[in-house]
Structure 1
Amino acid sequence: MRLLIAGGGTGGHLFPALAVARAFRAEEPDGAVLLVGKAGGPEERLVPEAGFELATVKIRGLDRDAVWKNAALPAIIPAALRAGLRIVDRFKPDVVLGMGGYVMAPAVAGARLRGIPYVLHEKDVRPGLATRMFAGSAAAVCTTLPGTEKRIKARLTVQTGVPLREGFVARRPAVPARSLLVTGGSQGARNLNVAVWRALDDLCARFEEVVHVAGRQGAAGVAEHRHDRYRGLTFTDDMAALMSRADLVVSRAGVGTIAEATAVGLPMVLVPGTFGGGHQEDNAAAMVEAGAAVSIRDANLSARTLVAAIDALQPAQLEAMARASATAGRRDAAQRVLGVLREVGNRK
């Protein structure tokens, strides 16, 4: 099978794409796989390092928060669509997998134009614009959390979970928690960073270790804040190693991070971002309803409310949250997505 995987721009889209590519190569060593991503995105480094072929497209998404930045889109989008079509024509895939987000659009549009079957993967409960645009003609849409299937019109939806990088191993976290992991996702989260730094003395008094992935935007703060029990990072390629030591996770409510935490079985304090139409609020609500997390609204986040939320987690609640997290976790999502792709490819 010749598989084209489109998506990137952020770690939340790229790492699942790489997970599917690795699973495909392991199961079909004679197959061909091409990843299509964003020019200037992290995929330009990470995909070749992983040993896969990469094609890139100059593309930018719709900015709902700063509308003036969309002025150039009428020129960017047609060129990107032509580039995506050229890539599809050159590679001649049997099936295309779109990993959600605007970066997948040029290649998926090219597949649709050429009559090549494609499958979408949507991470969030609330589907993004690109998924909604292409779902109607998709052979199938793979979803992550319950509720997505009610929000899109698709021929077939399959709840697969988020394909994960290798190394996420289920375990029982320590109770009371000894190691805290804070992450704002691959790009960081300014409000979360500030709350952590202002609460750093209190957090280090409560945990033996505080590991904080602040994103590149937090580089200056990481350099400024020093504590024996604090380790600040701007980026990590090995979240599995960090989660293998953590007992509690504080994070934004991106589904990639949620999927990784639930694969290990870690309780979560989620601070959903308000960007992108507020889709993270739905993700957090799903985890709170499942019993795996508590949530703090971004508008209410401060050093005081962060410490208070952590202090409110009694041992029995932490144990129950860890069990619920492990129940929600899916470590075989990449294989599930491959199963959908094979079924679609066999229909040709």
Structure 2
Amino acid sequence: MLAPRIVVAGGHSAGHIEPAMNLADALRRLEPAAAITALGTVRGLDTTLIPARGYPLELIPPAPLPREPSLDLLRLPIRLRDAVRAAGAVLDRVRAEAVVGFGGYVAAPAYVAAHRRGLPFVVHEANARPGVANWLAARMTTHVFTAGPSVRLAHATAIGIPLRPAIAGLDRSGLRGEARRRFGLRPDGPVLIVTGGSQGARTINVAVSAAAGELRAAGVQVLHITGPNHAVDVPAGDPPYVVVSYVDEMRYAYAAADFVICRSGAMTCAELAAVGLPAAYVPLPLRGGEQRLNAVPVVRAGGALLVDDADLDPAWIETVLLPVLRDPDRIAAMSANASAAGAPDADVVLARHVLAAVAERRRDVNCRRAVARRAAAP
């Protein structure tokens, strides 16, 4: 049987690239010989993150879809035409049998190029508020998947977000001792992880570091991941308050933690739910409130708290967060609720559907060929 040939289109940001690569990994686990090609552009993180995961990258011209009227909107038809042509050339060259898009600059051209060639294309939307490319594409295919049931897209099935197996299958309790030693934390006592994402978040950094004294007085250990462009000054003391700029393997941070305070990007929410970590989500107060929507399902399930960026300060930490951190029973209940809201197998679920779409296309092609042969027979 021929190996499936699949193109994934999820470029520009880590929020698009990471689930695309996680799907690619799942496809390779199910079909080790699968030929997988990634589409990307020179803008964003494509040329850094995708080759690092070991997949061939084909670059096409960026064609971002403006959300509001602008000069860029007037230039869009030409940009989209060029991007569609380039994407189509890639599909033809690798003899693609299916396209899987995750939004971002490359998704729309890939969808259009696939549609013109009669190729099945699969849409996955990680965010609670769909992007323009996925919103349009969902009306052109029945293969549509979302992070949660509240995402409004045509033909959508909620499956979660494809995650790395190292996260989705994390044994937090089994790795806890090693993880805490790695960061210089005590083996017992509550641990709070503080992070604002890969670039950090000034509001979170300032509020939590200013409450270091209250956290220590309550016996709470802290692992504070500031981001590479931020620094916080917390005097040495006990319990440990460990400050690092970046963590390469977040599974160790998650295993060390009992609770997290963080932004609520789609990937962050999905990972924390999958590993059963309760959190205080501080949505980025931009992008039309998308991050707030990402956090709502797990908050409603009782697995997280939600605090506005403007309300996060040392007083909130002392009066709202500390009582939670001091209560092991409440943390355990929130952990169970977070786990119930998670979807650790989304990568395999989506991969199986993509492979099924390839198999269906092959059957259709073979059927058309058989009909053509019969028609041509004397």
Same fold by TM (over 0.5)?
yes
After superposition, residues 269-308 of structure 1 pair within 5 angstroms as 269-308=280-319
Deviation by residue 1:250-282 (Cα, 9 ceiling, x = unmatched):
111112111111121111111122322212222
Higher mean C-alpha deviation, range 186-195 or range 226-235: 226-235
Residue in 2 that maps onto 1:4: 7
- Alpha-carbon distance between aligned partners in 2 of 1:60 and 1:189, rounded to the nearest angstrom: 29
- Alpha-carbon distance between aligned partners in 2 of 1:96 and 1:261, rounded to the nearest angstrom: 29
- Alpha-carbon distance between aligned partners in 2 of 1:72 and 1:193, rounded to the nearest angstrom: 41
- Alpha-carbon distance between aligned partners in 2 of 1:57 and 1:33, rounded to the nearest angstrom: 16
- Indicate the SS of the match to 2:231: helix
Contact 1:122 1:131 in 2 (8 A): yes
Residue in 2 that maps onto 1:338: 351
Residue in 2 that maps onto 1:129: 132
Deviation by residue 1:118-176 (Cα, 9 ceiling, x = unmatched):
1111112222222111111123111112212xx2222xx222211111312144689x9
1:20 is the counterpart of 2:33: no
Gaps of 5+ in 2: 178-187, 362-378
Residue in 2 that maps onto 1:319: 332
After superposition, residues 179-194 of structure 1 pair within 5 angstroms as 179-194=191-206
- Alpha-carbon distance between aligned partners in 2 of 1:177 and 1:38, rounded to the nearest angstrom: 46
Q: Give the drift of 1:233.
A: 4.1
After superposition, residues 35-54 of structure 1 pair within 5 angstroms as 35-54=38-57
Contact 1:123 1:162 in 2 (8 A): yes
4+ residue runs of structure 1 moved beyond 4 angstroms?
A: 62-65, 67-73, 75-78, 204-208, 224-228
Contact 2:223 2:241 in 1 (8 A): yes
Q: Give the drift of 1:40.
A: 4.1
Higher mean C-alpha deviation, range 308-317 or range 161-170: 308-317
Residue in 1 that maps onto 2:227: 215
Q: Give the drift of 1:321.
A: 0.5
Q: Which amino acid aligns with 2:25?
A: R
Residue in 2 that maps onto 1:163: 162
Identity in percent: 34
Point out the structure with max Rg over C-alpha.
2
Q: Give the drift of 1:225.
A: 5.6
TM-score with structure 1 length normalisation?
0.86
Q: Give the drift of 1:77.
A: 4.3
- Alpha-carbon distance between aligned partners in 2 of 1:206 and 1:76, rounded to the nearest angstrom: 57
- Alpha-carbon distance between aligned partners in 1 of 2:103 and 2:261, rounded to the nearest angstrom: 24
Contact 1:124 1:144 in 2 (8 A): yes
Q: Which amino acid aligns with 2:263?
A: R
- Alpha-carbon distance between aligned partners in 2 of 1:346 and 1:183, rounded to the nearest angstrom: 42
Q: Which amino acid aligns with 1:346?
A: A
After superposition, residues 41-190 of structure 1 pair within 5 angstroms as 41-59=44-62, 61=64, 70=72, 74=76, 76-148=79-151, 151-154=152-155, 157-168=156-167, 169-171=170-172, 178-190=190-202
Contact 1:167 1:241 in 2 (8 A): no
- Alpha-carbon distance between aligned partners in 2 of 1:190 and 1:140, rounded to the nearest angstrom: 39
Distance 1:69 1:247, change over 3 A: farther
Q: Give the drift of 1:337.
A: 0.4
Residue in 2 that maps onto 1:254: 265
Deviation by residue 1:211-244 (Cα, 9 ceiling, x = unmatched):
233334xx2425x666463444444442222212
Gaps of 5+ in 1: none
Distance 1:310 1:68, change over 3 A: farther
Q: Which amino acid aligns with 1:137?
A: M
Distance 1:28 1:211, change over 3 A: same
